[in-house]
Amino acid sequence: MNVCRSERFKKAYQKLSHELQKQTKEKLRLFAEDIKHPSLRIKKVQGTDSLWEGSITMGCRFTFEKIENGYWLRNIGDHDKTLKNP
C-alpha cells in the first residue's frame, strides 16, 4: 500500500513535539500494516464524503483520503483544529 504525505501534513508534522512525532511514526507504521488496527480508531470525518480521520493520541488526529493506489495523508495536529480543516 502506498502512503503519501501532503506538504501541509509534512509542515504540521514538523510542528509537533518530539514525543508526538515519535508516536506518529509508530501509528503510521501500524496504519501502513493494517488500517483496521483498533488503536488507530479510523472513522469518516463528519460532514464529508471522502475524508477519514485516525488517532495518534486522544488529543492528536490525522486526516487522510483514499486514493487509487493507497492513502493521501492530508493533515495532522490538535484534534479540534485538525478536524475543522481536514
Q: Give me the domains of the chain, ranges plus CATH numbers.
A: 2-84 (3.30.2310.20)
For the chain, first and last CA: distance in Å?
22
Predicted TM-score (pTM) of this structure: 0.91
Separation CA 77–CA 57 (nearest Å): 10
DSSP annotation string for 47-77: T-SSEEEEESSSSEEEEEEEETTEEEEEEEE
The pLDDT tens digits for 5-38 are 999 999 999 999 999 999 999 999 999 999 999 9
Q: What is the pLDDT of residue 80?
A: 82
Over range 34-44, report the average pLDDT.
96
Q: Hey, what amino acid is at 79?
A: H
Task: Tell me the three cell numbers of residue 41.
Answer: 480508531
Partners of 6 in the β-ladder: none
Q: What is the pLDDT of residue 82?
A: 83
